[in-house]
Amino acid sequence: MTKVHDPLPAGVDPCDLPGHGKKPLRLEEARALIVADIVPVADEETVGLQAALGRVLAGAVHSSVDVPSHRNSAMDGYALAGEDLPRSGEAAFGIVGTSWAGRPFGGTVQRGQCVRIMTGATVPEGTDTVVMQEHVRLDGDRAVIEAGHHQGQNVRPAGEDIRRGELALEPGTLLRPAQLGLLASIGVGQVTVLRRPRVAIFSTGDELRPIGDELGPGQIYDSNRYSLHGMLTRLGVEVVDLGVVRDTREDTLRAFQSAAGSADAIVTTGGVSVGDADYVTETLERHGQVGFWKVAMKPGKPIAFGRFGRAHFFGLPGNPVSVMVTFYQLVQPALRALMGVANDDPPMMLRAECETRLRKKPGRLEFQRGHLERRPSGTYTVRSSGHQGAGVLRSMSEANCFIILPLEQGDVEPGTEVEVQPFAGLA
């Protein structure tokens, strides 16, 4: 990270300082720089399996059992020795008992005999093949089976899923519902996970009022803290809400100090541009470390990134849509690294035919808000979700995806294929 030692002179655009370069960073460069600087949390705690949803595994988990523990049937049907299957015509087998799931057949099955078997039940001694019941004709106490089956069918070997001693989950795994099920299947009821990072948030701006207050001239409600709280909670971090901070040097410094006292990361909104009342960058500049300010993305420029004390710092723009775009594109990957997530999945991207005309100037990577739909044929279409201003939350609220327009792209005509990033994932 670039460290600027001298205080920022009043009225100087931080982007113009030596070492920061006038040329804005590309989003991927900015993201890589931020993620590389993150020091993941190291403290561990042990929690019950249900409470482990959304947490990150601290160490590897190996299985102490075979899953499944026994050779078992994949079907309801009849278990028999595969060598007895008829090559042509049909053969009859005497039914000598039943193997239930959890209540195995006690005896050994002789040649020419079979056992009724349920899904998941142990495949008895003397058998190695299951014929599903729909393919069996009953004739008194005999099961009549036609040719066309093969030895070993419908039998799941012990350890097919996980073998005893095998690695079940790697350190740094984010525990989703499937991982909770997998851990339960190997009998693990408690897991050691990394501590949840604490993330302090505050909004800056003299114009901001809390919900419930009457709005005076020029005042607005503070919406950023609510969208930010939602995004952080979804991510699975602990949120420390420090409220609204007035646009003064003193209040801003006090808020930074209070945040850094308890948090692993600080996320603020507003006050990072170069207006007279923008004290966030200045405070960071004088009392912390600053990484960069300019990213060639829209909405979202400028962004402050660095450290304050031991806390990672992310200073997002004030405009409500810019906050959400920069959070998802830059802060979320960084916070997942802070959570200790290893091998993070990249966000899903699709190509869709754009139905509306999109206005775009070359020079910045642009995130427009869109509504994605799937045609009956399986291809996707997307349209603009409305006014694309950086302060217009309605088009964000009515969107279900970002339409990502590359740096050099100009206006988009209807019928053009564009890249989209859906908001929702299945798990």
Footprint of ligand AMP (CB under 6 A): 203, 205, 207-208, 220, 222-224, 269-271, 273, 275, 317-320, 391
The closest of 217, 282, 278, 216 to 245, measured between CA atoms, is 278
Q: Considering beta carbons, is residue 222 or 366 the nearer one to ligand AMP? A: 222
Place of tokens 């020795």: 81
Q: Considering beta carbons, is residue 72 or 224 the nearer one to ligand AMP? A: 224
396: alpha, beta or left? (left if phi > 0; alpha if psi -120 to 50): alpha
Strands (E), 141-181: 142-146, 155-156, 167-169
Q: Is 320 in the site for Mg ion (CB under 5 A)?
A: no
In degrees and rounded to multiples of 5, residue 127 shows phi and psi of: -125, 160
Q: Considering beta carbons, is residue 104 or 270 the nearer one to Mg ion? A: 270
In degrees and rounded to multiples of 5, residue 134 shows phi and psi of: -65, -20
The rounded distance, in Å, linking the Cα atoms of 308 and 293 is 15
Residue 220 interacting partner from Mg ion, ligand AMP, none (CB closer than 5 to 8 Å by kind): ligand AMP
From the CB of 282, what's the least distance to Mg ion, in Å? Answer: 13
Residue 317 interacting partner from ligand AMP, Mg ion, none (CB closer than 5 to 8 Å by kind): ligand AMP
Q: Considering beta carbons, is residue 126 or 315 the nearer one to ligand AMP? A: 315
Interface with Mg ion (CB under 5 A), residue from 77, 126, 205, 370: 205
Q: Considering beta carbons, is residue 391 or 406 the nearer one to ligand AMP? A: 391
Q: Considering beta carbons, is residue 63 or 319 the nearer one to ligand AMP? A: 319
Quick check: 400 and 372 in contact, CB under 8 A?
yes
User: Residue 390 carries which side chain, given as an amino acid letter?
Assistant: A
Q: Select from 63-71, 95-103, 142-150, 203-211 the region that touches Mg ion (CB under 5 A).
A: 203-211
Burial 369-392 (b: 16+ CB within 10 A, else e): bbbbeeeeeeebbbbbbbebebeb
Site string for Mg ion, 244-273 (x = CB under 5 A): --------------------------xx--
Residue 291 interacting partner from Mg ion, ligand AMP, none (CB closer than 5 to 8 Å by kind): none
Q: Considering beta carbons, is residue 165 or 391 the nearer one to Mg ion? A: 391
Q: Classify burial at 229, counting beta carbons within 10 Å of its beta carbon; exposed 0-12, middle 13-18, buried 19 or more.
A: middle
From the CB of 331, what's the least distance to ligand AMP, in Å? Answer: 15
Residue 222 interacting partner from Mg ion, ligand AMP, none (CB closer than 5 to 8 Å by kind): ligand AMP
Q: Considering beta carbons, is residue 32 or 220 the nearer one to ligand AMP? A: 220
The rounded distance, in Å, linking the Cα atoms of 320 and 306 is 21
Q: How many CB atoms lie within 10 A of CB 178?
A: 9
Residue 283 interacting partner from Mg ion, ligand AMP, none (CB closer than 5 to 8 Å by kind): none
Torsion of CA 9, 11, 13, 19, to 10 degrees: -10
Torsion of CA 29, 32, 33, 39, to 10 degrees: 170
Q: Are strands 297-298 and 365-374 parallel, antiparallel or unpaired?
A: parallel
Q: Considering beta carbons, is residue 47 or 393 the nearer one to ligand AMP? A: 393
Q: Select from 100-108, 236-244, 301-309, 316-324 the region that touches Mg ion (CB under 5 A).
A: 316-324
Quick check: 299 and 291 in contact, CB under 8 A?
no
Residue 112 interacting partner from ligand AMP, Mg ion, none (CB closer than 5 to 8 Å by kind): none
Residue 207 interacting partner from Mg ion, ligand AMP, none (CB closer than 5 to 8 Å by kind): ligand AMP
- DSSP-based three-state secondary structure for 394: helix
Q: Considering beta carbons, is residue 244 or 339 the nearer one to ligand AMP? A: 244
Residue 77 interacting partner from ligand AMP, Mg ion, none (CB closer than 5 to 8 Å by kind): none
Query: How many chain residues touch Mg ion (CB under 5 A)?
Result: 4
Residue nearest to ligand AMP (CB): 318
Quick check: 253 and 287 in contact, CB under 8 A?
yes
The rounded distance, in Å, linking the Cα atoms of 382 and 400 is 10
Residue 223 interacting partner from Mg ion, ligand AMP, none (CB closer than 5 to 8 Å by kind): ligand AMP
Which stretches of the chain bind Mg ion, using CB under 5 A? 205, 270-271, 318
